[in-house]
Amino acid sequence: MKKHFFDQVLNHLNCISSMAAMENAGRTQREIINLTDYIRFRLGSKNAIIKLKDELKAVNNLIALYQSRLGTNLRYTENIGNDAKELYFPKHTIMAFVENSLFHAFGSKEGVWEIWLRVLKEDKCYIIEIEDNGEGFTGFEPFMDGRVPDSSISAVIRNLNDYYGSQQEFLSITSNQQGTRVRIGILQ
């Protein structure tokens, strides 16, 4: 039932996008396409292994949706080496932390919201960093050992452990009133 419902929603969004194109409403059409692609990504297989470049496309769709609402009050910066874009990892690894930033970190924060995404190669390890300048949070220790079964963070941890096993070098989360920083190291 759910899949049928969401398929219908996506079909209707595609129809509205076509109408926007016929009416020469390019910005509206881009917003609908971004939303449709974001929904498809979120509803797709949770256990899929994808390339970093595919996750980046979904992250950029979500950021574009938020920037259309917030304008210059949301800044997003990517620093990603080209070789890293071919890295395979579990779907939603980066998206989960970007969504957490957008949905939780900036609750009552005034001023500019900033999110940085860096993926760099150091020796035989890829370092993925997701950082924001949000309000920070406490109590994330249970996430680190996966004891919170329904959280997106614990799902990421489980998926990384299932896919990489001992090749996952580390996952660390630091957070304070100036923001949150997530570092994931993956041996290659």
Provide the pLDDT for residue 150: 61
φ, ψ at 24 (rounded to 5°): 60, 40
Q: In what order do the strands lie in the sheet with 113-122?
A: 74-80, 113-122, 125-132, 179-187, 168-176
Interacting residues of 7 by C-beta distance below 8 A, sequence separation 6+: none
Superfamily of domain 45-187: Histidine kinase-like ATPase, C-terminal domain (3.30.565.10)
Provide the pLDDT for residue 89: 87
CB atoms within 10 A of CB 171: 19
Q: What is the pLDDT of residues 110-125, one digit of tens each?
A: 889 999 999 988 888 8
Provide the pLDDT for residue 57: 93
Q: Where are the domains of the chain?
A: 45-187
Which residues of the chain fall short of a pLDDT of 50?
1, 142, 146, 148
Q: What is the pLDDT of residues 137-166, one digit of tens each?
A: 766 554 555 454 567 777 888 888 888 776
- What's the pTM value of the predicted model, to 2 decimals? 0.82
Provide the pLDDT for residue 161: 82
